[in-house]
Amino acid sequence: MKVFFFIGRNDRNKSGTSCKIWKIERKGRTVRRLWGPATWDKRARRAVPSDGLREVIDVQPTVEEARTFEEYWVSRRLSRGYERNPRRRR
């Protein structure tokens, strides 16, 4: 499972910041995507999923198409500012 985080500015929140988590997992022809809000665990110094994760399961015709589908979604998240290893911003 690949896990990505987004920590950035969000003027709609009271705190002014946003912390999101996005996961993707591929098993054969099935691609499972999960996303939702995350909270910052100060003690462990990492972002952890909070309640309210949403899930989508996509089944592709072939394994190769599932792999391409997964790569498409990963590149899309990276282009939107998500990171594999979030760094704490000050």
Number of separate domains in the chain:
1
In a domain, 85, yes or no: no
| Distance in angstroms (rounded) separating the CA atoms of residues 37 and 88 | 16
Of 1 and 89, more confident: 1
- What pTM value is reported for the model? 0.77
What's the domain range around 43? 2-79
Other C-beta atoms lying within 10 Å of the C-beta of residue 82: 20
Residue 88 located in a structural domain: no
Residue 84 lies in a domain: no
Residue 15 lies in a domain: yes
Do the domain assignments include residue 87?
no
What does the pLDDT look like over 5-33, one tens digit per residue?
888 888 887 878 888 889 999 999 999 99
Inside any domain, residue 49:
yes
2-9 and 30-41 strand pairing? unpaired
The answer to whether 58 and 31 have CB atoms below 8 angstroms apart is yes
48-58 pLDDT, tens digit each: 666 778 889 99
Three-state SS string over the chain comes to CEEEEEEEECCCCCCCEEEEEEEEEEECCEEEEEEEEEEEECCCCEEEECCCCEEEEEECCCHHHHHHHHHHHHHHHHHCCCECCCCCCC
